[in-house]
Amino acid sequence: MRVDNPRFHEKGSMHRITKGWSLDEKYLLTMGKEQFLLRTSTRKTLVQQEKEYQWISSIPAEEGVGKPLQYGLYDQEKTYILYQYLKGEDFLSVLPSLTQELQYDLGLQAGDLLSKIHQVEGKRKEEDALAYGRKIARKIKKFHEYGLSDPSLIQAMDYVHKHKHLIKDRPKVLHHGDFHVGNMIVHEQKLFVVDFNRYDFGDPYEEFDRITLNSDYSSDFTRGLLHGYFKGVPPLSFWHLLKIYRYVNAIGSIPWALEYSLESLPFVEDMVKKTLEDYEDLESPLPKWYQEHLSL
């Protein structure tokens, strides 16, 4: 529902939320006994906010996903989108205190939620694989423009070039766009996913390209995530594609941080390092943390 000039500041209290790296401004909006999540933007057009509203509203999940309630022009300079406010604790903060069994169970919930997000299909085009090939080329070009020369990432480029034919004719679905433990909350042992502002469309398996952000904090949660998504053990084809997508993400991450988020560079470099360590066995598509689980 579109509502322009909502004057939320006159109807309730607004508390700025600074957590995260989003370029949107986020607020906890309290009106009477009700609370909402308000996101405003000077960059997003009204059409972009409308599309986000429509796509996220179409996710077939009754619980676990904060749904958008309205969007529109906030004022002459900003657009906005208003979401349900999901009560709970920051999952990343409480994760270390949870039992391994509960971490795994919450992973199952996360995987089931992600499978529901991926039920929303995008329009496939014959040139999708070519477009992804151009995306790879842009990331590699940026890598060289910044004078980077990590031998392991050069090896990763070679692997991507040799195996990129695998991405042809893949399905195209709605992506959350940033699906990891930092964008989840937990309340009474139930998991909820937030922050859809980076949503896009692509191969469902590409959504897992930031799995390092999950496995680095909890391999139990990450196993649950995969088992909940696939309703069992992931197929081998998943691991082959995931290795490509993780390598592509790693190749592009450091140039992205250098250009857009210099303060996040140490964190990004650490995640890239851990991604490369996962594939020290160059021939195996299975990441090290999963191989270690299989050997238990």
CATH code at position 192 = 3.90.1200.10
- Whether residue 103 is found in the same domain as residue 249: yes
**pLDDT, tens digit, 9 for 90 and up, residues 198-212:** 999 999 999 999 999
Strand partners, 80: 40, 72
d(CA 168, CA 106) in angstroms, rounded, equals 33
56 vs 23, 35, 177, 217, CA distance in Å?
Answer: 19, 19, 12, 27
Looking at the structure, tell me whether residues 96 and 70 fall in a common domain.
no
Type of residue at 15: H
Identify the band that residue 121 occupies on the pLDDT scale cut at 50, 70 and 90. Answer: very high
Give mean pLDDT, residues 37-55: 95
User: Which CATH number covers residue 71?
Assistant: 3.30.200.20
pLDDT of residue 76: 87
Residues 56 and 186 reside in one and the same domain:
no
Q: Is residue 232 part of a domain?
A: yes
| pLDDT score of 18 more than 90 | no
In a domain, 79, yes or no: yes
Q: What separation in angstroms does the CA of 183 have from each of 9, 21, 66, 196, 245? A: 26, 11, 12, 9, 20
Give how many domains the chain has, as a whole number: 2
**In angstroms, rounded to a whole number, what is the distance separating the alpha carbons of residues 174 and 153?**
29
Residues 103 and 243 in one domain: yes
Q: Which of 51, 84, 117 corresponds to the end of one domain?
A: 84
Residue 211 lies in a domain: yes
Q: Is residue 3 part of a domain?
A: no
Span 128-142, pLDDT tens digits: 888 899 999 999 999
pLDDT tens for 60-93 read 977 899 899 999 999 989 999 999 999 999 999 9
- Average pLDDT over the chain reads 93
**Scanning the structure block, which residue is given the tokens 């696939």?**
230
Shared domain for 34 and 171, answered yes or no, is no
296 pLDDT higher than 80: no
Q: Are residues 122 and 17 in the same domain?
A: no
Q: What does pTM read for this prediction?
A: 0.90
Per-residue model confidence (pLDDT) at position 130: 86
Rounded to the nearest 5°, which phi and psi values hold at 4? -90, 155
Task: For residue 179, tell me if it sits in a domain.
Answer: yes
In a domain, 277, yes or no: yes
pLDDT at 295: 64
Q: Within this chain, do residues 235 and 255 fall inside the same structural domain, yes or no? A: yes
pLDDT score recorded for residue 126? 67
What lies within 8 Å, CB to CB, of 23 at 6+ separation is 41, 43
Mean pLDDT of 38-55: 95
58 and 105 assigned to the same domain: no
Q: Quote the pLDDT of residue 129.
A: 83
> 281-292 pLDDT, tens per residue?
888 999 999 988
The whole-angstrom separation of Cα 291 and Cα 284 is 10
Q: Are residues 71 and 196 in the same domain?
A: no
Give residue 80's domain range: 11-84
Per-residue DSSP letter, 98: S
Task: State residue 7's pLDDT score.
Answer: 85
